[in-house]
C-alpha cells in the first residue's frame, strides 16, 4: 500500500513544507520510503495528495505546491529518482490544479485538472498526448477518476459523477 505523508496537510504550504511517500505492508511496516533525495533546493514532494503506480512500477504523484493548490505531477522510479515533472500545458487558461491521477493498462497517465475543467492524458514518459475531456464536453471541476475496463468514471463538484466509454487512444 502506498501512503502520502506531508508536513502539514492544510492550506499552509510554505517553503518549509515537504512530503514523503511510504510503501507499507498490511501490518504497517515500512517496505520502502520515497523521500527527498535531491536536496532541499529541489524537493521531491511538497504536499503529495494522490498516488498511482504505473505498470512499469513508477509512482505517479499529484503534488500540491502552494496554498492555492497549484499542482504538478511528479513521477519517480522504483529507485526514488525523479523521472519527470508535469505542470500542465503552456496554453492553459488557468493554473494547473490536479486532485487525482490514475494509470491505464497501457501505462498512460490520466490527470484531473480542476481549474481548467479537463482530464489530461500523458504517455508513460510524461509526454502530453491530448485532453480526454474538456469543458466543451460539459465536464465541470473534475476531482477524482476511476477506470475499470473500458469505463471511465469522473467525479466532479456538486456530487456529479460522469461515466464515459474509455477507448484506446493512439500513443
**79-111 burial code (b ≥16 CB/10 A, e <16):** ebeebeebebeeeeeebbbbbbbbbbeeebbbb
22-76: per-residue pLDDT in tens? 889 999 999 988 876 555 567 788 888 899 999 999 999 999 888 777 899 999 9
What tens digit of pLDDT does each residue of 111-146 get?
A: 999 999 999 999 999 999 999 988 777 888 999 999
Residue 163 pLDDT more than 90? yes
pLDDT at 95 over 70: yes
Q: Which domains does the chain have, with CATH numbers?
A: 2-165 (2.120.10.30)
Cell of 58: 513508477
Residue 109: φ, ψ to 5°: -115, 130
Closest CA to 135 of 168, 113, 165, 110: 113
3-state class (DSSP) for residue 136: helix
C-alpha cell of 16? 518549509
What are the φ and ψ backbone dihedral angles of 106, each rounded to 5 degrees?
-100, 0
Instruction: In the chain, count H helices and then E strands.
Output: 0, 14
Span 65-90, average pLDDT: 90
- Going by pLDDT thresholds of 50, 70 and 90, the confidence category of residue 15 is low
The residue count for the chain = 171
Residue-by-residue DSSP string for 20-68: EEEEE-TTS-EEEEE---S-GGG-S-SEEEEEEE-TTS-EEEEEE-STT
Higher pLDDT, 147 or 8: 147
φ/ψ of residue 107, rounded to 5: 90, 5
Nearest-5° angle of CA 137, CA 91, CA 161? 30
What pLDDT sits at residue 41? 61
Amino acid at each position: 500500500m502506498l501512503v502520502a505523508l506531508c508536513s502539514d496537510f492544510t492550506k499552509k504550504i510554505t517553503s518549509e513544507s515537504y512530503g514523503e511517500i511510504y510503501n507499507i505492508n498490511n501490518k504497517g511496516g515500512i517496505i520502502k520510503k520515497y523521500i527527498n533525495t535531491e536536496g532541499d533546493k529541489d524537493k521531491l514532494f511538497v504536499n503529495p495528495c494522490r498516488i498511482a503506480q504505473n505498470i512499469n512500477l513508477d509512482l505517479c504523484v499529484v503534488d500540491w505546491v502552494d496554498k492555492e493548490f497549484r499542482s504538478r505531477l511528479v513521477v519517480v522510479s522504483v529507485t526514488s529518482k525523479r523521472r519527470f515533472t508535469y505542470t500542465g500545458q503552456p496554453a492553459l487558461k488557468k493554473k494547473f490544479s490536479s486532485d487525482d491521477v490514475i494509470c491505464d493498462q497501457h501505462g498512460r497517465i490520466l490527470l484531473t485538472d480542476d481549474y481548467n475543467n479537463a482530464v489530461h492524458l500523458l504517455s508513460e514518459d510524461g509526454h502530453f498526448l491530448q485532453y480526454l475531456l474538456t469543458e466543451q464536453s460539459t465536464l465541470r471541476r473534475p476531482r477524482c477518476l476511476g477506470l475499470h475496463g473500458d469505463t471511465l468514471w469522473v467525479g466532479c463538484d456538486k456530487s456529479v459523477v460522469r461515466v464515459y466509454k474509455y477507448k484506446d487512444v493512439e500513443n
